[in-house]
Chain A
């Protein structure tokens, strides 16, 4: 009887030790280990920061310059992205809440076949990584909240 109890305890300990098996987000997001699927994090890590891979910050160009559409700096960024029509494809929003596949920001960052002009960031890379794109897509899929 004692042995069976011991066995059950060992089994419970094994299972308890294995239930925290979730992958770390930082393993996926490469050059931006603090990136999370929130607007504030994406603004900090993607829009505002040139990351360690050398991918330039979006606001290097999209900073209110009248010759570059979209001002992604500071408080203007959210309104310029979410529900905002694009200059190149007016039928699309830059970010369509809940619809990453219909968001032109995603098309431009992934270099989709239907984009007008260059893939972003311009200059031939480095581009946003697949892991970073998963985080951006998740934020959009969850409704693109201003969080």
Chain B
């Protein structure tokens, strides 16, 4: 049986960190300063809509958009199981382009613990649970690029079996108000689900390249490609799509060469380079 130490550490982090954040943000001493603090909270620039980075992910890759302190966001993802190249167009249309097939569904919730620091959980319907965190180190307004560090761990069988931790960096460059591009090197440990005695390589190093380009005032084209070295089963993750942003919502229709949405799943690669699957995600910001 696998040790539960990773789960214990993550639980400790999620319990202790909010208290530390609250302790650091001590309440003001009088009502005047409380009002000032409230006004400062309303002026939190993290709450402003960012036209270049309207969401916290491109398709699967994280962006450097920050979750405002004590605010949150929710996302639901779908990857339909029918390859789009299977059968002729008539068959595909009868199956509503894969919507009649089963889907791998993901539910995600993220929360801003303090300015620039977010944590979250993502569960997919193959019973994988991923805990993740991201900390913003640099913002483009001050340094010309956005930079964040990310870490995650996902575990199969409802976080009871194989654990796959990841650590990486998110580097972003906003293109004025017309989108952003991303480079995200990541190291994924234990990406092979077999014991290391039985595999040639148990780690995957991958670099995520992503872009989101605004083509209409609220419409974006998105794309990602993620070459890998080390343990590289399947094919390198690739995806592209179109996205519509409306208020605090974002709706994205995408096409991917696999079902992966957690970093461990992405490290294990897509199914085949000529198999593409329809998917979508809907996200909602609670601020």
Contact = CB atoms under 8 A, between A and B. Distances in A.
Question: Are A and B subunits of one complex?
Answer: yes
Contacts of B189: 18-19, 21
Most buried by B among A3, A7, A27: A7
Interface stretch (A9-17, A51-59, A105-113): A9-17
B190 A22 contact: yes
A72 B129 CA distance: 46
A24 B20 CA distance: 36
Interface string B134-165: 01000000000000010101000000011111
B165 A18 contact: yes
Interface residues of A, number: 24
Interface SS majority for chain B: mixed
Nearest to A8: B135
A14 B195 contact: no
B9 A13 contact: yes
B1 interface: yes
Contact of B198 (A14, A15, A135): A135
A4 to B, nearest CB: 9
B195 A15 contact: no
Interface string A13-36: 111011111111101100000001
Contacts of A138: 197-198
Given A3-B20, A15-B167, A18-B6, A24 B195 contact: yes
A141 B92 CA distance: 41
Contacts of A25: 195, 197-198
B196 A22 contact: yes
Contacts of B135: 7, 11
Contacts of A14: 9-10, 13, 151
B112 to A, nearest CB: 14
Given A18-B153, A21-B162, A21-B164, A134 B194 contact: yes
Interface string B53-93: 00000000000000000000000000000000000000000
Contacts of B133: 11
Contact of A27 (B1, B10, B13, B163): B1
B96 interface: no
Most buried by B among A10, A18, A37: A18
A134 B196 CA distance: 12
A6 interface: yes
A27 B161 CA distance: 10
B193 A23 contact: yes
Interface of B: 1-3, 5-6, 9-10, 13, 16-17, 20, 24, 117, 133, 135, 149, 151, 153, 161-165, 167, 189-190, 193-198, 202
Interface of A: 3, 6-7, 10-11, 13-15, 17-25, 27-28, 36-37, 134-135, 138
11 contacts: A11-B149, A15-B165, A17-B9, A18-B6, A18-B153, A19-B165, A22-B202, A23-B161, A23-B193, A23-B196, A37-B198
